[in-house]
Chain A
Amino acid sequence: MTENVPTPAPLLSVKDLHTHFPVGGGLLTKLRGQQQIVHALDGVSVDIAPRQTLAIIGESGSGKSTMGRSILRLEEPTGGSVSFRGRDITSLSREELRRERQHMQMVFQNPYSSVNKRNRLVDIIAEPLRVHGVGDASSRRQRSVELLELVGLNRDFLHRYPHEVSGGQLQRVGIARALATNPEFLVADEPTASLDVSVRAQVMNLLTDLKSELGLTMMFISHDLAVVSYIADQIAVMYLGRIVEIGSKQQLESAPQHPYTKALFAAAPKPDPRLRKKESAPLGEVPNAITRPTGCFYSPRCPLAEAKCFTDYPRLETKAAGQQVACHLVAPSPLVGATQLPITPV
């Protein structure tokens, strides 16, 4: 991602990942070749270095959840590659992938729907161990107690059912389950979005603690900028299945380049009234992911759009060290000069 700053080899490297979904239409439209396609993920490339947390932000329908799921192959990507620990995930056989899943886990948005309501918490937490044949029943139970304590719950919870605990507690259980097999990489898909604000902070604290304690590499998907700035090292902004801007947290917070990023940060509520900016919020709705705008996808909503914006999609180009922006109107940084990385083909 960055040639200027020396970074360790990435743990996860996503190259030109595409995930398309066919929608609607019966046999007739299929035969006519008029099948419509949602480009949920349309050529995304990103690297995550070990122990780093990349936050993916964007509006609903921007493809951020699809990205997390495609990387874990919970959705089958239609193109591109995902290299994890040096292996190409997209080419693994079913059994190889199943084994590899021990090292990459997921935390879901809604804790209640992401666990089997009929299982006790001990069975929920130990299930990843069971399916991978780790240990026997008593050692798995022992591990469940450790995991419960790791996420700040005690052994009294072992034999409770999901409906007997609160949402925040159950989300801790979801995190414990994700950590059961000692994964290096965690995808957290809006893990706090369905929680009460008071509980949200606890879960975020837990995640940041675990991140440093266990040396986790994370992809953190969220639309909550406050939450993102708390945990992220890097931030990628997605819009209609593509990354429009990516950079370190400091870069994006202090100097967002893309008009969409600026609008997003401007729209986020800030506790300090003096910080309020007179920035224009995004106009209207996210365009349809089936019939996308020509040119820059953001052009219909962009207050600064020029003629070029309506005809050509801007390439994702390096504007500053480690910061890439896909916008015609952002001049390349003189520091970087002509180093333009053609990462997202148009």
Chain B
Amino acid sequence: MAITETKDGIPADNPADNPADNSAHRADEVGLLRRLTSRKLSAISLAGVGFFLLLALVGPFFAPFDPAALGDEPLTGPSAQNWMGTDSVGRDVFSRFLHGSRVSILVGFLAVLFALVVGSLLGMLAGMKSGKLRDSVIMRLMDVILSFPLLVLVPVITGILAQRQLSLGPVSITPEVLVAIAIGIVLVPVFARIARASVLAEMREDYVTAVRSFGGRGKDILFRNLLPNISAPLVVQAAFALAMAVSVEAAVSFLGLGVQPPGASWGTLLADARQYVTLGAWWLVVFPSIAIALFVLFFNLLGDQLRDELDPRAKSTTKKSKKSGASAKGEQK
């Protein structure tokens, strides 16, 4: 082959001979979890998030009583037998809390999953055709959703969905899933806007043109090329959205428009407690409230930390921004 001679010229411009460089990217990927745990704040948030995930997964198995079983002693304070006391009809609050946590957290995750998938897809489709009809239609639709107050839209959507006996094949959709979808719909615009903005920036890069130039289809551009490059801000937003989804679920259920009794969630636990707080039954309010507050806190913390690690453009601390400024200068060359 005539060109083999050019091989000899390569080592001259070969920074990758340095083995440290070779493994740099792999270290990036593996290192995310390590870097998150190495910082105190992110370690705390990770631990908190892990605790809640565990609570949702295995919590109900540790419930000492049937959460719906009525007891003989209503409104007793925390004791060795009833760790979080009993409610107005004598049900064990601890058992109800464990079951309710699973519902609340599951609803949150489902809602964010829905919003992440639908929102990102819509946003990317809009961003690929910026300024065109498709873009306008999608983004105006997002504006419509955003123009409603959260606490109005979620119950309305839940109500509309609940009217029809929805089912996915043999699986009938439970009221909890309905609430999750309703919250998910409300969160869609957040992800759509982020995805669209990120895609707009990426579309200017040559690699998108390159995919078109060798005959890539829309789906090749969308899923193989754009999605991996815009995933960081979406993941960050997902963490914040989880905190939001859980607090919205609690608020809607508290109003009696979300998860319906006798099903338990953090919101319905609070709703049940409302009448008895003035009678001094503090234990009915304190535990779900703390759970909601901590959940929101931990996921917001995690979102902040993820943003610092994944999304250098949005870095907040001065030390970090100086670093990213230097690398930006390097890229211009």
Contact = CB atoms under 8 A, between A and B. Distances in A.
Interface of A: 69, 72, 74, 98-99, 101-102, 105-106, 108-110, 112-118, 127-128, 131-132, 149-154, 160-161, 163-169, 174, 177-178, 180-181, 196, 198-199, 202, 205-206, 209-210, 212-213
B207 A115 contact: yes
A80 to B, nearest CB: 20
A198 B2 contact: no
Contacts of A149: 1
B293 to A, nearest CB: 37
Q: How large is the interface on B (under 10, 10 to 19, 20 to 34, 35 or more residues)?
A: 35 or more
Contacts of A161: 25
B114 to A, nearest CB: 25
A99 B12 contact: no
Given A160-B22, A164-B16, A127 B6 contact: no
Contacts of B210: 106, 108, 114-115, 174, 177
Given A168-B13, A177-B210, 17 more contacts: A74-B209, A113-B207, A114-B206, A114-B209, A116-B225, A127-B214, A128-B215, A152-B3, A154-B7, A161-B25, A163-B25, A164-B16, A164-B22, A164-B25, A202-B13, A209-B2, A212-B2
B214 A178 contact: yes
A51 B13 CA distance: 31
B225 to A, nearest CB: 5
Contacts of A115: 207, 210
Contact of A99 (B209, B215, B224, B229): B215
Given A98-B215, A114-B210, A161-B25, A169 B6 contact: no
A127 B216 contact: yes
A100 to B, nearest CB: 8
B3 A116 contact: no
A118 B228 contact: yes
B11 to A, nearest CB: 10
Given A110-B206, A163-B25, A105 B217 contact: no
Contacts of B4: 152
Contact of A164 (B10, B21, B206): B21
Interface in B165-214: 205-207, 209-214
B220 interface: yes
Interface string B3-37: 11011011011111000011011000000000000
B207 A74 contact: no
Given A131-B220, A166-B13, A169-B14, A101 B214 contact: yes
A257 B25 CA distance: 54
A220 B16 CA distance: 29
A152 B206 contact: no
Contacts of B2: 209, 212-213
A152 B207 contact: no
Contacts of A114: 205-207, 209-210
Nearest to A98: B215
A108 B206 contact: yes
Contacts of A74: 209, 212-213
B215 A101 contact: yes
A154 B229 CA distance: 27
A66 B64 CA distance: 73
B214 A165 contact: no
A311 to B, nearest CB: 39
A202 to B, nearest CB: 5
A164 B224 CA distance: 21
A131 B214 contact: yes
A198 B12 contact: yes
A209 B2 CA distance: 7
Contact of A150 (B3, B10, B22): B3
Contacts of A113: 205-207
Contacts of A206: 3, 6
Contacts of A153: 7, 10
A166 B211 CA distance: 22
B10 A152 contact: yes
Nearest to A94: B217
A160 B16 contact: yes
Nearest to A189: B206
Given A116-B225, A117-B229, A209-B6, A132 B215 contact: yes
A132 B4 CA distance: 29
A181 B214 CA distance: 9
Nearest to A100: B215
Which of the listed residues B25, B215, B229, B331 has the most CB atoms from chain A within 10 Å of its own CB?
A: B215
B313 to A, nearest CB: 15
Contact of B215 (A102, A110, A166): A102
Contacts of A165: 14-16
Contacts of B7: 152-154
28 contacts: A74-B209, A74-B212, A99-B215, A101-B214, A102-B214, A102-B215, A105-B214, A106-B213, A114-B210, A115-B210, A116-B225, A117-B207, A118-B229, A127-B216, A127-B224, A128-B215, A150-B3, A152-B7, A166-B14, A167-B13, A168-B10, A169-B13, A169-B14, A198-B13, A209-B3, A212-B2, A213-B1, A213-B2
A131 B1 CA distance: 29
A112 B207 CA distance: 9
B83 to A, nearest CB: 48
B213 A213 contact: no
A101 B24 contact: no
A176 to B, nearest CB: 12
Contacts of A205: 3, 6
Interface string B91-115: 0000000000000000000000000
A5 to B, nearest CB: 29
B214 A202 contact: no
Nearest to A105: B214
A72 B215 CA distance: 11
B199 to A, nearest CB: 14
A116 B207 contact: yes
